[in-house]
Amino acid sequence: MSKLGRVLVAMSGGIDSSVAAVMLHEQGYEVVGMTMKTWDYASSGASKKETGCCSLDSINDARNIAVQLGFPHYIIDIREEFGDFVINHFTDEYIAGRTPNPCVLCNTHIKWDALLRRADQLGCDFIATGHYANIREENGRYVISKGLDESKDQSYALWGISQKSLARTIFPLGGLRKTEIRQMAMDRGFTELVNKPESYEICFIPDNDYRSFLKRRVEGLEEQVAGGEFVLEDGTVVGKHEGYPFYTIGQRKGLGIALGFPAYVTRIEKDANRVVLGNYEDLAKNAMTVGKLNMVKYENLIGQPIPSITKVRYNDPGTEAIIEQEGDKMKVHFLRGVHAIAPGQAAVFYEGNDVVGGGWIETNFNSDFNLNVLQ
């Protein structure tokens, strides 16, 4: 039995989770590998070949590493819980006129819960993943912070994990750069891992065509929503669209309409099946409401607004803001307009490199909030 304890490592078959498992094994943990089957590609209807984290190749790659290093490896089938929760939510959000973020939802509600349940069954003290992020204990809280390699940082996707789950989580890669991870794999002879293409698409939409996916999932959807109006901010009707669920805030390409200026989707009016178009400046809003909060660094901020760098999407560098908690919602007041704030996406609040908390964007608007409130 290892003095450091037993750790269940989520292994997707990719380089990051594989190197995480190798590192923990070399550090002296008793490692148990686990690969989660979240989705069955045969049922996606997509034309693209099966790749990514749930393919047979990926499961075999993960198992091979475990065999080489001599630790046990298990496969768990979570397709049912994943499908019921993540895919239904994804579909429902588009039908509600919002833009979902299934990967964040999956981390929060499926992967961590599934891993911890299995960790308990297998007598594991900890769980570990190959995410680029750090975790520490401070003032009785478990705090997530950005990984050293900012270009690969994944803290944005982890804001929803509960304190109870974070208490048992290890991120071995948080202090490394991607180049170092590739070198570690090379040094240990895992050359195939280094050359393996990484997948960035949503696992259940391997061809990245969410519109076709929605049409297959929701019977008769096209007939129900086709023929709605494209309108300008002043209400002028400028054309017909294919149905509001097939558009997202900030979208410019694929609108199928020429207005003589670069047009963007600025708003989706689900009940009227209207898609509002405007110019780039019309996309800018200086405030938003964020709901279903999960607080990470602090238990709550009720009555104490603080400055924060707030991200509204995965690859967003973030914008200075004052965040003000009201019950289970956060009012976010940006110091300047932020473009394409999409309801349904995750918003994450940072203090330096630390994740203060996050939630789901509910509304965006322009406000005349006094930004000198903290002075």
User: Which residues contribute to the annotated binding site for ATP?
Assistant: 10-17, 36, 130
Q: Please choose, from the candidates 203, 283, 269, 213, the residue with its C-alpha nearest in 3D space to the C-alpha of residue 241.
A: 269
Q: Which residues are annotated as a binding site?
A: 10-17, 36, 130
Task: Determine whether 203 is an active site residue.
Answer: yes
Which residue type does 327 have? G
Strands 306-311 vs 346-351: parallel, antiparallel or unpaired: antiparallel
| Nearest alpha carbon to residue 39 among 203, 239, 230 | 203
Nearest in space to 115 (alpha carbons), one of 125, 105, 101:
125
Question: What is the Cα–Cα distance from 10 to 169, expressed in whole angstroms?
Answer: 11
Task: Considering the candidates 54, 103, 106, 124, report the single residue annotated as catalytic.
Answer: 106
DSSP 10-50: E--SSHHHHHHHHHHHHHT-EEEEEEEE---GGGT---SPP
Fill in the amino acid letter for 119: A
Helices and strands (H and E) in the chain: how many: 11, 17
What lies within 8 Å, CB to CB, of 203 at 6+ separation is: 38, 39, 52, 53, 54
Name the β-bridge partners of 320. 309
Give yes or no for a contact between 130 and 19, defined as CB atoms under 8 angstroms apart.
yes
Q: List strands edge to edge, sheet with 73-77.
A: 73-77, 30-37, 6-10, 126-128, 169-170
Specify the pairing of strand 306-311 against strand 319-326: antiparallel
Would you call 106 a catalytic residue per the annotation?
yes
Q: Cα separation of 8 and 72, whole Å?
A: 10
Cβ contacts of residue 301 below 8 Å, gap of 6+?
A: 295, 323, 324, 325, 330, 356
Catalytic residues: 106, 203
